[in-house]
Structure 1
Amino acid sequence: MSYMRTFYRKYKHLFPLAIFLIFYLTVFVYVENRPAYHMHLLASRFDHLIPFCELFVVPYIMWFFYITFGVLFFGIVEKDRDQCYQLSTNLMIGMALFLLISLIWPNGHTLRPAVLPRDNVFTRLVIMIYSSDTSTNVFPSIHVFNTIAMHTAVRHSTTLKKHPWAVRISGIIAVSIVLSTMFIKQHTVIDVVGAMGLNLVTWYVLYRQPQFLTNLREKLVREK
């Protein structure tokens, strides 16, 4: 029992995000499987200019590791706890708004190719993604929002300021992930632009208004 108390005191700053993820996944499964009587289809002329390229499935899958590793880094390695609160709050705001939009405004797209142009290990991975994640509830792209939120945190990291190479690598990974969502036809340009616009708002609130973060931190985690 004492070990559990020690663990909680040491990592309690990660608990709000962990609890939120349980809620998020529960609601996400619901919106993915509920019958949608009227689907708002999203597409732009730019989407038809972007070719399908299965190689981008690699950075698309890399997203899962990028976000997981990033959260653990800011929760365990980064000494400035404010940075962890900023990242966690940013991720939660984006995912909460995504769920709200999906609930009240069902959306999707029909850009996925009916027949993939080639048969290789990358197209097979794309098929696996298609089968596990539908082309509905795509706006704004959480893949894009969380990626930019993570790279924003990396750029503001006190620890990583001493390692500019890590920030550059994060930037390359982030750009490749954002592009991957459009090149494997998981998201539309509209989804990507929407996520970027939302990121701009949350960046201003969380990183340009420090008093907001201080007040929020006091509400989320109260020091004993």
Structure 2
Amino acid sequence: MEQLQKKIVTYQWKDVIKRGLFALSIPLISLTYPMLNQYRGNTNDLFTFVDKLIPFNKFFILPYVSWYIFIAVFSVILCIADKEKYFKLLITLNIGMITCYIIYYFYPTYVPRPLILGTDFFSNLVLNLYAADNPYNCFPSIHVLNSVLIALYIYESEKVSKCTKVICIIMSVSIILSTMFIKQHYFADVIAGVIFAFILYFSFRNLKFNLHKRGTITYIE
């Protein structure tokens, strides 16, 4: 009996690792972004009066850069706890990012950045981000899109604890706000990212996985 239990546990973790490998699609798709994040002629300005009301705040650099950890941690949680929501998340993330890249190509935008004179830790973090990421191709915001999708699937999952859901939502909201407070995105970029995330979420909500038959996928109206 003990040996059987060990075999079951080993099999389950092998299954989790196999599922986790599908997440490599996200960094692979991201490899195309540097080619798009360049000046390619005329750009569009989506500045609104709302952006004028939002001050620059260097401290929001922390939630902004935590986005990478946020995606990794909560994707792993879904991968382990709820494989159906995990696969839905991967599908929507992939479609969302590819769609955003297509929009970036045909509708390039530009977000001007503030002059930062400080030499403290937070100011340097913002300056390093600005140096690594050009101010082009911001509509819709992928930071916002991915944060909302992860929060939606974590919240919907019955296999994730309430505490985890609360932490996920708080981090998601702080990341969304950070995109505007450190002037990486306009308000329009954020709204577009949120709307697009909900469109993707509800479009694939009825997707069902028959995971006991070699991962067969069916779509139920």
Do these two structures clear the TM 0.5 threshold for a shared fold by scoring above it?
A: yes
Q: Is the 8 A contact 2:58 2:123 kept in 1?
A: yes
The separation in 1 between residues aligned to 2:162 and 2:78, in whole angstroms, is 16
* Aligned-partner SS, 2:74: helix
The separation in 1 between residues aligned to 2:128 and 2:66, in whole angstroms, is 15
* Aligned-partner SS, 1:124: helix
Q: In the alignment, is residue 141 of structure 1 matched against residue 141 of structure 2? A: yes
Matches within 5 A, 1:19-168: 19-22=25-28, 24-33=29-38, 35-75=39-79, 77-78=80-81, 80-110=82-112, 112-113=113-114, 115-116=115-116, 118-160=118-160, 163-168=161-166
Identity of aligned residues (%): 26
Q: Is the 8 A contact 1:13 1:221 kept in 2?
A: no
Equivalent residue pairs, number: 205
Structure having the larger proportion of residues in helix:
1
The separation in 2 between residues aligned to 1:222 and 1:142, in whole angstroms, is 29
The amino acid that maps onto 1:44 is: T
The separation in 1 between residues aligned to 2:200 and 2:25, in whole angstroms, is 21
TM-score when normalising by structure 1: 0.83
Q: Deviations over 1:51-89 (max 9, x none)?
A: 0000101111111111011112222x21x3211111111
Q: Deviations over 1:102-129 (max 9, x none)?
A: 111111222x11x215331101100010
List gaps (5 residues or longer) in structure 2.
1-10
The separation in 1 between residues aligned to 2:60 and 2:204, in whole angstroms, is 31
Cα RMSD, aligned residues only: 2.4
Displacement after TM superposition at 1:200 (Å): 1.5
The separation in 1 between residues aligned to 2:22 and 2:202, in whole angstroms, is 22
The amino acid that maps onto 1:119 is: T
